[in-house]
Amino acid sequence: MCLSVISKFIRYSSVEVVYKKHKFKAFVADSLLKQAIGLMYRKSIGSNEGMLFLFGRPSYYGIWMHNMRFSIDIIWLDEGKRIVDIVENAAPCRSIIGCKVYKPKKPSTTVFEVASGIVRKLDIKIGDKLQFNA
């Protein structure tokens, strides 16, 4: 069964992620299957939504934009929920061949994906901290 079909049946829990006074409803990708699918096949994501990838142990987790329909900002966090790297406006790719994998400059335990432009709009920077219970 292909991922596009499977993605329709997966249910995500959600948590509130807070940056300063801005609150996001974040869908939690806490299993390998949920992490593999991520935001693939969705039509959009709202300015108050995101996807939180919980990996557990520090590493250089790569994100790619295969089968995505919209651009996103990617935020990597360390164990203390502090931002260690950011990629703005990561664009979708349609082909596996040449589809860029975005990796952080420092190890992370968590990745937070938000709509493209949110990092700039909220002035999110490396070293800032997010708040959430997950």
Residue 39: partners with Cβ closer than 8 Å, 6 or more residues away: 45, 51, 68, 72, 113
Please name the helix (run of DSSP H) or strand (run of DSSP E) that holds residue 115, with its range, or none: strand 108-115
Whether residue 3 has pLDDT greater than 70: no
Residue 97: partners with Cβ closer than 8 Å, 6 or more residues away: none
Higher pLDDT, 15 or 31: 15
Higher pLDDT, 6 or 86: 86
How many contiguous H segments (helices) and E segments (strands) does the chain have?
3, 8
Whether residue 6 has pLDDT greater than 70: no
How confident is the model over 72-79, as a mean pLDDT?
98
